[in-house]
Amino acid sequence: MTEIQSIKNRFGIIGNSPALNYALSTAIQVAATDLSVLIVGESGVGKEVFSNIIHSLSTRKHNNFIAVNCGAIPEGTIDSELFGHEKGSFTGASEGRKGYFETVNGGTIFLDEIGEMPLGTQARLLRVLETGEFIRVGSSKVQKTNVRVIAATNRNLLEVSSQYKFREDLYYRLSTVPIKVPALRDRREDVPLLFRKFATDFAEKYRTTSIQLDPAAQQLLMNHAWRGNVRELKNIAEQLSVLSADKYIGVEALRQLLPGNDNQRSLAIIPNGANNNYSQPQDATTANERDILFKLFFELKKDMNDLKHLIYDVANHQGYSPVEPAGSTNLMPIYSEAETIKPLAPYPNSNNTPLILDNSTGLSNLTTIDETLSLMDREKEFISKALKKHKNRRKDAATELGISERTLYRKIKEYGIIE
């Protein structure tokens, strides 16, 4: 326990929850080995700190350490970044370049967001882990490296592998020793300690009096869902330190800063262990998807009304005099007295879908319009339009769509949208 407290003091880790202590204990034990480590946990829990701890306590601590965000590197260049390339191997490769696995030889490489790595790159990484061999892009020469790999993810990689988006053999090779970093809502007893530390730091930074919480505000802080985890708590502490004139914070002042009325959601209704997907918390993901679905349904309703008016106008121009019954949005085709066909009820087919007149064969030949209600197609269309509108600025497009930039990035990859 003394060693764990020493590590906490050295790396600025605040908290005494059993889950946090167990994760730290595992990191300390595995550091002295050369085993691959997979760190899992939601965004904002501090996974990179654990990679630093493992490297600093290992026999490689005097060698290089590099952190690579796999989700931030474009798919077309990630192989070159990790393994290097030869001169002329692709357009723009005016000279050869060493990759991270070559420059960090003898040290440690931290691969964050490993779940975003393309499948082709995963195969190359698996070879490095198994044999220590790699090949530069555009080369046929096999090179050797001695690098320890620490990976991290906020996704459930076994679930992703079942969707054929992550290699199962790579998952088991990486997770020789898994370390789960608990979410902040799973160690709520640490929230007041963290807040007090952040408040003290910001008071020194901005040269003001440190803020304090009254008991009701502290309870509200502990019951908050903390979807952004420690990063979100730090932001709240900084906002209060800068914006609050009263340094003794009450529940109302705190409630105004907690986003999305999340303060009304007690942790009592979020069972421990309910969220086994290490991406973003389930409520956050559901909210993002729900926003898109609402937009889709409104657009579908608008498109259906436009389609009905179009049918009405076409029939009018052709002299068939369709009428739309008062108080109804359904078109009811009624023909002229010269026609022997009796009036039809709205949507007189088995699928209850609207009908359009086929000009080539007259009124007796009616063609059914199939309503395309694919949410995935519409979602892809909206995302493409938003990116085009904002000239591929993802942040602006995400704001327009009402989703997070991370969710937008995932959707772009999922639908194969070319920016």
Report pLDDT digits (tens) over 161-192: 999 999 999 999 999 999 999 999 999 999 99
> Where residue 66 sits, what CATH number does that domain have?
3.40.50.300
Q: How far apart (Å, rounded) are the C-alpha atoms in residues 210 and 197?
A: 10
Domain for residue 35, yes or no? Answer: yes
Coil, helix or strand at residue 151: strand
* 51 vs 391: which has the higher pLDDT: 51
Same domain membership, residue 326 and residue 247: no
Are 38 and 103 members of one domain? yes
**21 and 123 share one domain:** yes
Same domain flag for 177 and 31: yes
Same structural domain, 36 and 128: yes
Q: Which residue has the higher pLDDT, 294 or 88?
A: 88
154 and 67 inside one domain? yes
Q: Is residue 285 part of a domain?
A: no
Whether residue 166 is found in the same domain as residue 21: yes
Range of the domain at 307: 295-368
Rounded to the nearest integer, the mean pLDDT of the chain is 80
Q: The CATH number of the domain where 380 resides is what?
A: 1.10.10
- Residue 114's Cβ-side half-sphere holds a number of Cα atoms within 13 Å equal to 33
Tokens representing 19 are 């889950």
CA 305 remoteness from chain centre: 34
Q: Do residue 22 and residue 135 come from a single domain?
A: yes
Query: Could you read off the pLDDT of 109-162 as tens digits, one per residue?
Result: 999 999 999 999 999 999 999 999 999 999 999 999 999 999 999 999 999 999
Residue 68: its H or E element: strand 65-69
Q: How many domains does the chain have?
A: 4
Residues 316 and 388 in one domain: no
Phi, psi (5° rounding) for residue 5? -65, -35
Whether 261 is in a domain gets the answer yes
Whole-Å CA distances, 376 to 60, 293, 372, 373, 395: 47, 10, 11, 9, 21
Does residue 277 lie within any of the structural domains? no
